[in-house]
Structure 1
Amino acid sequence: MSTHPVTKAVEVHGRRMPLELDADQWEQLARIAKREKMSLGDVLSAIDARRADGDTLSLPAAIRVFLIGYRRMVPQDL
């Protein structure tokens, strides 16, 4: 399991931004996007939209919470 951080320029809600996640998390997001027939930007925008206004949870933290929940709901090959 790789844990080194990787920074990518991604689009969230139509805006480009740098996002740093572990390599494994990027791989999981790519598989989810493919499985759900969505772009990576659309998956990230959906995760970001679920954060409540005034929520102190950062986007990387929200992504980690999402990945754990997704694996519980859809455990195949993630």
Structure 2
Amino acid sequence: HVAGAVALIVNANPGATYETVYKLLANTVDTATLKPSTANCGGVDNSKYPNNDFGYGRINANKASSTSSTPVPSTTKPAC
């Protein structure tokens, strides 16, 4: 699943670096529907992400591939 999401991101953002793809994947995950268990490994709080149960969260390939990896240039001209 991750490889497919990476392919979609790279297709939408040609020339995206490893770091860019990693950030897009990590910053566009879904966590709202994940229910932390009471069992925990390593003392990591399951309500914070990343954690040992869900990692960063559920991949949202649509959101990750539709998010631009480069800032959109401003069309406003500087005052000076």
TM-score category of the 2 structures, normalised to the smaller one: 0.3 to 0.5
After TM superposition, the score normalised by the length of structure 2 is 0.34
Higher-Rg member (1/2): 2
Query: Which structure features the higher share of strand residues?
Result: 1
Query: Which structure features the higher share of helix residues?
Result: 1
After TM superposition, the score normalised by the length of structure 1 is 0.34
Greater RCO, CA 8 A, separation 6+: 2
